[in-house]
Structure formats: structure tokens, C-alpha cells
Amino acid sequence: MNWLLPRFVLAVLAVLLGAAIGIWIEHWLKLSMLSELLSASCAVAALVLVDAIRGHRLLQWLRGSQLDTAPRDSGLWGELAYRIERAVRDRDKTIARERTQLDQFLSAIEASPNGVMMLDEQDQIHWCNRVAADHFSLDPQRDLRQRVTNLVRSPAFVAYMQAGQFEKALILNNVRGLGTLSVVVRRYGEGMTLVLSQDITERERADAMRRDFVANVSHEIRTPLTVLSGFIETMSSLPLTDTERRRVLTLMGQQTQRMQGLVSDLLTLAQLEGSPRPAPDRWVALDGLLARINSDALALSAGRHQIDVQLDTHIELAGVESELLSAAANLVTNAVRYTPEGGDVDVSWRLLSDGSGELSVIDTGPGIPREHLPRLTERFYRVDGSRSRETGGTGLGLSIVKHVLQRHGGELQISSEPGKGSKFKLVFPAVRVRLMGETPLGVESAMSSSLPN
Ligand code: ADP
């Protein structure tokens, strides 16, 4: 109220000044009392005029954008302007803070890997992030205020939205001809609806693969079991000669071995998937591995093939010995198993200029048609099922090889042509290859590139 006293004093002064002028006029011009009254009124009117001008200035500022400072007057108008300006500035700050929070919130939702869409009471799109727009083929700007069921025309989605039963997620298959979406809808606020969408194509694919895998394993195990139970029944119900009994026992032994091979390969795969990546500083002599592979191949071939394994590579590979042996042995065993009698199997090492290296297994077998090549490393994938089973294959060998190589940072390369044999290459990265006792080339180049010039 510190403006009240000066204002009162000013009003009294204005009246006194007006009266003094009135007395002066009366004295000199000999006019009546009226002139004093008139002068006092003029003084008050002047005061009101000043007030009107100041009030007008403040109103003008309020009507404008309020970006400049409010009129700096003294007294009542000054304090009024100051307080209004402070309230306006506080309001602006609160709005700016809330806008920043909203922006941050929206950009967090925008960054979400899932789709988020908000619908109003009429199921019109109020806001949606880019992922939701992508999932439902929407335009986040153009399609605002449009009814969602007019834009997302999938009959399952329309029926789901119309039914309003949102306890269970909706699974939309073949969305945009691509994959599978899981859609969850929740009501919130006053009649608002939140639509959350998630691309579950990969998850569905993994589930399907797991289901296929279990079905395949069951099938692979059931077949030898059926054969075995048949033989057991035969042996227990029929009187067999010694020769027949020996034959049946041999066949039973083969089926048992087949099951053992399958279980052992399954365990190897499970182990590969469950264990950490091999350390890059445990060195294994390649020549030792090749010597073992050579003798196994010779035993398996039993003189039916010309087998040539390079045994003097003087190379060491960084990794797990049992895994490296298993990968190379699988390739050589396949080469021997699938190459007809009289064919060649060559195993050789090549060190490349960038320090990486490759172990090649080349055979002169039947070769593999091009269309099968990309699928060879799938579990239980066989080009010729009966040939594979005949020779004791489980259908898991190349899958194991691929896993081992991936874990060692390398890759399995396959090239083959029907009638011209096959070439399987295990490619190892430079950091996992070295000449006996020397530093791997990959490590040297990595070190020299990190040294200052
Ligand atoms: P399998 O136990 O059946 O040999 P793999 O995973 O080792 O399973 O091989 C998958 C398929 O690839 C085999 O069934 C076979 O048809 C084909 N294959 C693998 N190696 C060779 C090869 N050296 N020559 C011809 N076909 C091969």
C-alpha cells in the first residue's frame, strides 16, 4: 500500500493547487467562488488524465506479446505493472518448463522400440510415434484426427477395437506383408485409449524354430527306437538262427550308435550355445589337430579314398582345442562319407596377406546343388536324407561347424557344384592366427595403428 499515501498527497496537492489558482483568478480577475471550484476540478481532471495515460500504456503492453518490459511508472501504476509483469514472467517460465518436460517425454516415447499411439474419445489419432506409424503404415502428421479404424483396415484390428475387449493382446499376422505384430490396448484418462504395438516377428520365428527343433529331435530319436523295439520283439517272439541273430544284433548296434551320435551332437550344440566366447590367448597347434584328423580320416576311409592332409603348417590358432578339432573333423568326415570310393580328399592351410588364414577341405564327391548351399548349416538339413543316415550322419555336423567358427570370430564358406566336388573353408581372423611362437599379424597391425606417429 506504499502507493496510497503519495497518491493521496498528490490528490490533495492537486486540489490545493487548483484552489490557489482559483483564488488568484478571483483576486486578479475579480471572478466569483466558481473559478476556485472550476480550477480544483481541472486539477483533478488533469490527475485523472495522467492516470488514464498510464493505464492505457499498461493495457497496451498487456495486449501485446509482453516480450519487452512493462511500463516503468512510479506509484500505483508502477507497482501494478511490476506485479503483472512478474506474474506473466512466472507463467511463461512454468509453461516453458512444462513444454520441455513434454518434449522430453515425447522424445522418450519416440525413442521406444515399440509403437505408441494415443486415441481420443472417438478413436481418432491424437498422437503416435514413428514406430507405431511404421507398424500401421500411418503418417504421424497427416493422419492426426483421423479415425484409426478408417486407416488400419485389417479386419482383425477393426473387430478388436469395436469389441472393446482388451484383456488379451491382439496378434496381427502378415502386417504390411512382412511380419507379426502384438497389439495391446488400454483405456486411460477420460475416454482416451493407448495402443501399444510390438514387432514380434523375430520372436515368432525363434519359437517356430524351437518347435521345429523339438519335432526334429523327437523324429530323429523315434526312428532308431522304433527299429530297436521291432528287433527286440522279433528276437523275443521268433526262434532265430545264429546267423540271423548276429545280423539283428549288428543292426541293433548300428541304431544304438546312431542315437549316441545324435545325443552327442545335441550336447555339443547345447554346450556351444551356453558357453562364453573362447579366449583369444589360448593357442592350439594346428599340426597336432591335423595329425589326429588325418588318422581318423584314414580309418574311416579304410583305403577307399586318396587322402592328403597338410601336416606342416607351423600355425597356431587361438581358441578351444576340442571345438576346433570338432569343426575340422566334421568337415573331413563329411568329405570321406560323401565321396564315393576312389575319390580324393585334400586338407590344406593358407595364410592370407592380412594375417587371417583358412583351412580348406576339398573333395571330389558328388557336389551339392546351388539351391541347397544357404541352408546346409541349418539343424537337421540334409540334401540327401537317406545317404546321410546310411553313413551315420545326424544332420547337425555343419550346424556345429558354423557355431564353432562364429564363436572364434571366423566363418564357414561353402562352394560346390554337382558333379565337381565340394570345398568347405574355415576362415579364421588374423587375431586368432599366428606362426608358432610369433605374435599374430592382426595384433601387430592393431598395435601399430594405435601407436602415435
Ligand atoms: P550330416 O550329418 O547329414 O552329414 P551335416 O550337417 O554334416 O549333416 O551336413 C548337411 C548336409 O550337407 C548333408 O546331409 C549332406 O547332404 C551335405 N553335405 C555335407 N558335406 C558334404 C560333402 N562333402 N559333399 C556332399 N554333400 C555334403
The three cell numbers of residue 45 are 481532471
> The CATH number of the domain where 229 resides is what?
1.10.287.130
Contacts of 52 (CB under 8 A, 6+ apart): none
**Side-chain half-sphere of 223: how many Cα atoms within 13 Å?**
14
- Kindly list the strands in the beta sheet with 170-175, ordered across the sheet, starting from the edge strand earlier in the chain: 125-128, 115-119, 192-199, 179-188, 170-175
- Give yes or no for residue 161 CB within 6 A of ligand 1: no
Q: Which atom of ligand 1 is nearest to the CA of 381?
A: 10
334 C-alpha to center of ligand 1: Å? 6
Residue at 103 is within a domain: no
Question: Going by DSSP bridges, is the β-strand pair 115-119/170-175 parallel, antiparallel, or unpaired?
Answer: unpaired
- Kindly list the strands in the beta sheet with 344-351, ordered across the sheet, starting from the edge strand earlier in the chain: 306-309, 344-351, 357-363, 422-428, 411-416
- Give yes or no for residue 329 CB within 6 A of ligand 1: no
- Give yes or no for residue 384 CB within 6 A of ligand 1: yes
- Give yes or no for residue 335 CB within 6 A of ligand 1: yes
Let me know whether 131 and 42 are in one domain.
no
* CA pair distance 103, 109, nearest whole angstrom: 10
Dihedral angle over CA of 225, 230, 231, 235, nearest 10 = 140
Residue at 37 is within a domain: yes
The three cell numbers of residue 99 are 513444454
Let me know whether 430 and 301 are in one domain.
yes
Measuring from atom 14 of ligand 1, which residue has the nearest CA? 382
* CA pair distance 266, 240, nearest whole angstrom: 36
Q: Cell 511404421: give the residue.
A: 134
Q: Cell 576346433: give the residue.
A: 324
The three cell numbers of residue 234 are 522279433
> The CATH number of the domain where 147 resides is what?
3.30.450.20
**Which of 244, 274, 304 is the C-terminal boundary of a domain?**
274
Residue at 100 is within a domain: no
316 C-alpha to center of ligand 1: Å? 28
Instruction: With residue 110 as reference, give the H or E element that holds it.
Output: helix 75-111
Number of structural domains found in the chain: 4
- Give yes or no for residue 334 CB within 6 A of ligand 1: yes
* CA pair distance 337, 395, nearest whole angstrom: 13
CA angle 72, 77, 83 (to 5 degrees): 75
Q: Which domain covers residue 69, as residue numbers?
A: 4-89
- Give yes or no for residue 422 CB within 6 A of ligand 1: yes
The three cell numbers of residue 66 are 509482453
- In one-letter notation, the amino acid at residue 401 is V
- Mutation choice for ligand 1 from 344, 388, 420, 425, CB with most ligand atoms inside 8 A: 388
Over its C-alpha atoms, the chain yields an Rg (Å, rounded) of 45
pLDDT at residue 266, as a whole number: 94
Residue at 104 is within a domain: no
Let me know whether 242 and 377 are in one domain.
no
User: Diameter of the chain by CA atoms?
Assistant: 164
**Which of 141, 165, 199 is the C-terminal boundary of a domain?**
199
> The CATH number of the domain where 386 resides is what?
3.30.565.10
pLDDT at residue 329, as a whole number: 96
Q: Cell 610369433: give the residue.
A: 438
Q: Which atom of ligand 1 is nearest to the CA of 399?
A: 6
Let me know whether 287 and 270 are in one domain.
no
Let me know whether 289 and 419 are in one domain.
yes
The three cell numbers of residue 142 are 497427416
Residue at 81 is within a domain: yes
Q: Cell 493495457: give the residue.
A: 59
Let me know whether 421 and 305 are in one domain.
yes
At residue 391, φ and ψ (nearest 5 deg) are -95, 15
Let me know whether 74 and 28 are in one domain.
yes
* CA pair distance 343, 339, nearest whole angstrom: 6
Let me know whether 411 and 354 are in one domain.
yes
| Cα-Cα-Cα-Cα dihedral sign, residues 287, 288, 291, 293 | negative
pLDDT at residue 381, as a whole number: 92
**DSSP letter at 278?**
P
390 C-alpha to center of ligand 1: Å? 12
At residue 64, φ and ψ (nearest 5 deg) are -80, -160
**Which of 274, 295, 313 is the C-terminal boundary of a domain?**
274
- Mutation choice for ligand 1 from 257, 305, 376, 413, CB with most ligand atoms inside 8 A: 376
34 C-alpha to center of ligand 1: Å? 126
149-173 per-position pLDDT tens digit: 999 989 999 999 999 999 999 999 8
Q: Which atom of ligand 1 is nearest to the CA of 421?
A: 24
Write out residues in the chain with pLDDT < 70, as ranges: 1-4, 30-36, 176-177, 441-453
Cross-strand pairs, 413: 425
282-296 per-position pLDDT tens digit: 999 999 999 999 999
pLDDT at residue 32, as a whole number: 65
* Cα distance between the two ends of the chain: 76
**Length of the chain, in residues:** 453
Q: Which atom of ligand 1 is nearest to the CA of 395?
A: 8
In angstroms, the Cα distances linking 40 to 6, 16, 30, 53, 283 are 18, 7, 17, 20, 111
Let me know whether 361 and 299 are in one domain.
yes
Let me know whether 312 and 400 are in one domain.
yes
Instruction: With residue 87 as reference, give the H or E element that holds it.
Output: helix 75-111
* CB contact at 8 A, 300 and 333: yes
Residue at 446 is within a domain: no
CA angle 84, 88, 94 (to 5 degrees): 145
Three-state SS for 121?
A: coil
Let me know whether 180 and 319 are in one domain.
no
pLDDT at residue 1, as a whole number: 52
- Give yes or no for residue 397 CB within 6 A of ligand 1: yes
Residue at 98 is within a domain: no
* CB contact at 8 A, 312 and 287: yes
* CB contact at 8 A, 413 and 427: yes
Let me know whether 295 and 406 are in one domain.
yes
CA angle 159, 162, 167 (to 5 degrees): 85
388 C-alpha to center of ligand 1: Å? 7
* CA pair distance 342, 73, nearest whole angstrom: 111
* CB contact at 8 A, 293 and 332: yes
Residue at 418 is within a domain: yes
Q: Which atom of ligand 1 is nearest to the CA of 265?
A: 2
